[in-house]
Structure 1
Amino acid sequence: MRNFFCLIFLSACCYTAYGQDTTAVTLQEVRIEDKRIQDFQTGEKIETVSSQYLKNRQGGNMAELLTKAGGLNIRSYGVGGLSTPSVRGTGSNHTPVMWEGLNLQSPMNGSLDLTLVPVSFIDNVAIQYGGSGSVLGSGALGGAIHINTDLKNIHQGVGGSLFQQFGSFGKQYTGLNLSYGKGIVKAKVRAFTHQADNDFEFFNRFNNREEEMDNAQVDQRGVMSEWYFDLPKSQSITAKYWYQYNDIHLPNAASLGGKAIETQTDEFHRAVVHYQNNRPKGVFEIRSGLVNHYLNYKDYVAPASISKSNTWINDIHKIFRLKPNHELQVGFNYTYDQAETESYGSNIPDRHRLALFVGSKWLLMKKLEVNLMARQSYIDDELVPFLPSLGLQYFISPEWQTKTKVARSYRVPTFNDLYWTGSGATGNLDLIPEEGWSVEQGFIFQKANLQAEFTGFYNVIDNWIQWVPRGSIWLPENVEQLQSRGVELSLKYHYNILPNWSLQATGKYAYTKATKEKVGSVQDETQLHKQTIYTPENQASVSLSSNYKNLSLVYLFKYTGEQATTGDNTLSIDAFATSDLSLVYMQSLGKHSVSLSGSVKNMLDQAYEIRSGRPMPGRHYQISIQYQFN
């Protein structure tokens, strides 16, 4: 690793010597609310989802959105079932989901179910690839997903929108947004309800007959309230509150058969207050947020299993603009986690996390941008691994640039890993944090209507925590080393046929080889050097859109390669490809607008599974209408 840093430094020197053009650099805007990411994202690969794409998918959830739009892998237990992200072959607990700068990962299991995040509650989505522990702390080994809402563009007076969607299998989604702006105050309230039976038919390959999905109903509702105060002297205060109730029925795997009876109720409260002072010489921010989650699992045979968790996050940092080409940031974070469940016995665990982070960014010779970051955390009276990172971005010409990122990351064990008891399993208090290094190199070309990006990456994670059998019980141990490497390619082309007629094409491809290079003594060595389960080596997507006056036609194609379902790769689920077609018509009527849309999902009626025994629906339809006024 020391030799690699030296190589990067020498390469940077060569780049600087090579550059003769002294044109000033203008960075592309990244719509992430956290200023640490906005100002210190040098060398990062960050993929944003367009606002129009979000607007056209108001009736969906984040799992559906990122399955189609993102370059990451969504591991899903079927429609309405648990869906979690995997970036570059890592696990769901290696990919934090950040809302307004708050990490929504559960302190109990380390993940977040993306089906519980409605698209209508989100204005901006960005996927950050690679390790980012120096900025985000524990858990950010594979990447991160940033979501937030935008209040700054609210018009003066009253505005709002009403969204209604109907779809196959009893789907109904209603969304209402109301906004108000007057003087220094801007406010917005969002609400939604969503019901679906999800009673689609499928061919059960385990008993060779047609069946109807049973016990897969979804009932969700929620509200979000947001306030923004634009204060004198470039100051602002933002307050947001998000409440949601989710009643989910859990179908059996197709291989089990029988009558499914399991249900799960999730109820959560999320709140954040954010103060920002943005001056020419620097930015000062304070953020405090609370994440409360209640879960009630029932199978109507055993007593209900109830779990509760609370996370309190406090963050303060200052960015100093020392010179036009030099910025320095210093920050402090305090996070408190607490959880309670019968599965922890008499334990009610909590955790105190303190972290100090610093960063410095320079623009050298108007060509080379350098970003150094470091983070040191102190968790429950113990120091955890020191996390440095180095990001480089070199502007070769107006069309070409390179990106380089080297970062160290870690993940502390979850409360389930430490304190679980009962049902033939027990936690392990001797676990140590997982540690990882990530390296990536990217090239970007942009000219006229064409944009292309190529990235190669290599990740290694040591002390990977896995649950392994010890006699008659299972317990977690630091038993594995994961290595993932691969390449990612994206292309985007835009062409104007006529002043009111345009075409756009986007293509993405990712090759990911993720293998276990070390396993514990009780694990089968046939798993060595084999692809990790539910990690496709090949993924690709194509999006084609035609926009003529008020009419838009969009075609989406997604290919997912074969995925192993056992550690020795002897069993797998087949590769599959899906196609969606959407037609959208929008009509403006002064300060009012109406849009109508219709979609055919999985239009070729492909039978496929994302998780073994969890069939996905065949061809189905959705129609939507949205009314907006300002």
Structure 2
Amino acid sequence: MRLGVLLILACITNVLQAQENDSIPLLNEISVNGNFEKQFLSGNAIILPKIEATSFYNGNNISEVLKQNSSIYFKEYGNGMLSTIAFRGTSASQTSVLWNNFNINNYTLGQTDFSLIPTQAIEEISIIPGSGSSMGGSGAFGGAVLLENNLSYKAANQIKINQEVGSFGFSNSYINASGSNEKWAYSTRTYFTNAKNDFEILQTGELQENAAYSKWGINQSIGYKIRNTESIKLSIWYNDNFREIQAPIGSSRDVNEQSDHNLRTHLNYEKNLKNGFLNVGTGYFIDELDYRLNDAISYYKVNRWESFSDYKIHFLNSHELKISARYNHIEAFNQNYENGQALEQRYSLKALLSGQINPKINYALHLRQQYIPKQNIPISPYAGISSKIIDQSKHQLELKLNSSYNYRVPTLNDRFWNESGNSNLKSETAWNKEVSLNSNHKFTDLKVKSTITAFHNLVDNWIQWVPTINNIWSPRNIKQVLTEGIEISTDFKWVFPSDFEVKSNLQYSYTSSTVMDSEVNPTEIGKQLIYTPINKATAFFSIRKHNFSFNTFHQLTGRVYTTSNNSEIFSLSPFYLTDIGLTWTPKNWEISTKIKNVLEQEYFLYSGFAMPGRNYQLSITKTFNIY
């Protein structure tokens, strides 16, 4: 089957090569994220984290960046430990995480551990809230997180070397190299992080023990321009992570260990055609986990081969049609599966249409169908529209609307776990609707950009593991959940004479995630889902003068319930965090100092697991330009 799919993709490529002529646009940039072009998201927002945030949290995992730039909440089982996402009131398995057009969610659990993704391994991070995230595949009810490593044939030859040290034995090093010529482009990102992680537990005054972690990896991309209209590229990302599992406060200090190994590779071929664009790719992925509790060992491994072909055509001057086919072969090995393994093949076909109705109105339509043996999967439609209400040189106001119907296939664990898996599970489904108003204003020294979004998402057949009459836990479709809310974001930028600049960003989100129906626990009906804060706010302030900058980051998280009956006694109290940093950037250098949790706040992101108090970091980066 794999060979057949690859032969089909190769035939498509050869046939379309015949269409090349001198009028075909040149291919100057490589964009390896071919699935989320903005023109196919007319009704959606695309959030790009502030460069100040990615720089400040460069030595941390990307959850720190995402928390500061969106309404996303993370359940973290301690400092540097397991970190899972809650996006717009949905579960961790209802958010897609894509790297260069490939979904990298764990196929056994259906989710991503964000503690395994260091910020410095990724060139660009994007957040797609709500409906438009379904472009990346099934299960993206809350949204999608896009991780990109792009290449450019115009990139200067450059090497960056960084060393960062901090409290609790923290050390982080990375080397980034990039460059190009007329035919070749490359990007190399290597990193190594380790920490003893022996911080003081503010609640007890004791020292946190047995919570050390380390990670290292390399993310390598190479591109070759065959001619001005076509190129190939190869990307390889290997990540190796080890950690001692942090214990809850007051529990046994036994040393539990976990090792994660991730290999992600893909090869892409891109070609500009006279009236369109072809993108063909194939990838191979290995995810491996080894968990040790005293003498007990838990191990799994997932091998995955995925291929796709995208063909985009331009017509009638302002319209585009994209057809995409994808094949996914999955092999999962787990001692807890029947026969120790699970095999599955998935196929999908997708059509996307976008264009201009008139100069002020854009539209986008998607239709996606997936086939998985023994699964009843619905068609997934999407419709989005944007309208420029005010379109002046200094003032713009735009209205966006979108709606989608999406689904999530039960995970491999849900279906294949020995004696507990449920092969009769239905796919979760979600009907999402949202509306947003975006404005941009330019004054003499000030730029203001603001967005307000309202969303409504009804999820049916919500899957949850519950005990059976034989006291064996098994997954069932037992819930209906309604998530709705409002998100507000405002950016300010003041530019003054003498190279003086002030920036700020304010965000607030209200998220109601309510259980509407429950077959097992009627007492949770009408209650807020656990680990979903109703209120969250973030703020960012930056002052820059010449090559000095001062940045502050603020997070206010409301009460978080940890029990289905929303008990105040067992809930996590609201907390307010402040991080500050001072950066000096003389020629080819960047030297920064950071203080995190300045106010020494005691807080929890998951019940019982301590987080550190005030801590410090020093970072030095040297850039070498190669001529």
TM over 0.5: yes
TM-superposed deviation, 1:134: 4.8
Letter in 2 for 1:330: I
> 2:301 touches 2:334 (CA, 8 Å); kept in 1?
yes
The answer for the alignment partner of 1:408 in structure 2 is 405
Instruction: Please state if 1:605 is matched with 2:600.
Output: yes
1:435-514 equivalent positions in 2, closer than 5 A: 435-448=429-442, 449-471=447-469, 472-514=471-513
> 2:513 touches 2:529 (CA, 8 Å); kept in 1?
yes
* 1:61-88, Cα deviation, whole Å (9 max, x unpaired): 1122212233311221121111112110
Instruction: Please state if 1:150 is matched with 2:150.
Output: yes
Q: Residue 141 of structure 2 aligns to a residue in which SS?
A: coil
Instruction: Please state if 1:286 is matched with 2:283.
Output: no
* 1:159-198, Cα deviation, whole Å (9 max, x unpaired): 2110100000000001011234233101222211111011
Q: Residue 260 of structure 1 aligns to a residue in which SS?
A: coil
Change over 3 Å in CA distance of 1:133–1:63 after alignment to 2: closer
Instruction: Please state if 1:225 is matched with 2:223.
Output: no
Instruction: Please state if 1:185 is matched with 2:184.
Output: yes
Q: State the alpha-carbon separation in 1 of the partners of residues 120 and 459 from structure 2.
A: 35
TM-superposed deviation, 1:286: 0.8
Q: State the alpha-carbon separation in 2 of the partners of residues 451 and 353 from structure 1.
A: 42
TM-superposed deviation, 1:380: 1.4
Q: Residue 396 of structure 1 aligns to a residue in which SS?
A: strand
The answer for the alignment partner of 2:12 in structure 1 is none
Q: State the alpha-carbon separation in 2 of the partners of residues 459 and 54 from structure 1.
A: 30
Instruction: Please state if 1:215 is matched with 2:213.
Output: no
TM-superposed deviation, 1:294: 1.0
Q: Which runs of 4+ in 1 moved over 6 A?
A: none
Which residue of 412, 418, 422 corresponds with 1:421?
Answer: 418
TM-score (norm 1): 0.90
> 1:554 touches 1:583 (CA, 8 Å); kept in 2?
yes
The answer for the alignment partner of 1:259 in structure 2 is 253
Q: Residue 620 of structure 2 aligns to a residue in which SS?
A: strand
Instruction: Please state if 1:332 is matched with 2:331.
Output: no
Q: State the alpha-carbon separation in 1 of the partners of residues 427 and 199 from structure 2.
A: 43
The answer for the alignment partner of 2:585 in structure 1 is 586
Q: State the alpha-carbon separation in 2 of the partners of residues 259 and 397 from structure 1.
A: 61
Q: State the alpha-carbon separation in 2 of the partners of residues 396 and 481 from structure 1.
A: 37
> Would you say how many aligned residue pairs link Structure 1 and Structure 2?
584
Change over 3 Å in CA distance of 1:488–1:524 after alignment to 2: same
Letter in 2 for 1:436: A
The answer for the alignment partner of 1:538 in structure 2 is 535
Q: State the alpha-carbon separation in 1 of the partners of residues 605 and 376 from structure 2.
A: 39
TM-superposed deviation, 1:35: 4.6
Q: State the alpha-carbon separation in 2 of the partners of residues 116 and 385 from structure 1.
A: 33
TM-superposed deviation, 1:37: 3.1
Q: Residue 63 of structure 1 aligns to a residue in which SS?
A: helix
The answer for the alignment partner of 2:5 in structure 1 is none
Q: State the alpha-carbon separation in 2 of the partners of residues 611 and 382 from structure 1.
A: 34
Which residue of 606, 619, 624 corresponds with 2:619?
Answer: 624
Deviates more, 1:38-47 or 1:62-71: 62-71
TM-superposed deviation, 1:524: 2.2
Q: State the alpha-carbon separation in 2 of the partners of residues 477 and 269 from structure 1.
A: 32
Letter in 1 for 2:431: W
Q: Report % sequence identity.
A: 29
The answer for the alignment partner of 1:356 in structure 2 is 349
The answer for the alignment partner of 1:141 in structure 2 is 141
The answer for the alignment partner of 1:43 in structure 2 is 43
> 1:315 touches 1:333 (CA, 8 Å); kept in 2?
yes
* 1:497-535, Cα deviation, whole Å (9 max, x unpaired): 224001011000000000110101xx2211001000000
Letter in 1 for 2:598: M
Change over 3 Å in CA distance of 1:97–1:252 after alignment to 2: same
TM-superposed deviation, 1:323: 2.1
Letter in 1 for 2:537: A
The answer for the alignment partner of 2:336 in structure 1 is 343
Which residue of 521, 524, 534 corresponds with 1:524?
Answer: 521
The answer for the alignment partner of 1:275 in structure 2 is 269
Unaligned runs of 5+ in 2: 1-30
Letter in 2 for 1:629: F
Deviates more, 1:43-52 or 1:107-116: 43-52
TM-superposed deviation, 1:280: 5.3
The answer for the alignment partner of 2:163 in structure 1 is 164
The answer for the alignment partner of 2:313 in structure 1 is 320
Q: Residue 416 of structure 1 aligns to a residue in which SS?
A: helix
Which residue of 348, 368, 393 corresponds with 2:361?
Answer: 368
Instruction: Please state if 1:389 is matched with 2:387.
Output: no
Q: Residue 150 of structure 2 aligns to a residue in which SS?
A: coil
> 2:516 touches 2:526 (CA, 8 Å); kept in 1?
yes
Q: State the alpha-carbon separation in 1 of the partners of residues 253 and 293 from structure 2.
A: 11
> 1:32 touches 1:147 (CA, 8 Å); kept in 2?
no
Over aligned residue pairs, what C-alpha RMSD do you find? 1.5
Change over 3 Å in CA distance of 1:181–1:52 after alignment to 2: farther
The answer for the alignment partner of 1:196 in structure 2 is 195
Letter in 2 for 1:536: P
Unaligned runs of 5+ in 1: 1-30
TM-superposed deviation, 1:231: 2.9
The answer for the alignment partner of 2:9 in structure 1 is none
> 2:511 touches 2:535 (CA, 8 Å); kept in 1?
yes
Change over 3 Å in CA distance of 1:52–1:283 after alignment to 2: farther
Letter in 1 for 2:249: A
Q: Residue 65 of structure 2 aligns to a residue in which SS?
A: helix
* 1:311-351, Cα deviation, whole Å (9 max, x unpaired): 22211111111022211111111112221111114141111
Q: Residue 96 of structure 1 aligns to a residue in which SS?
A: strand
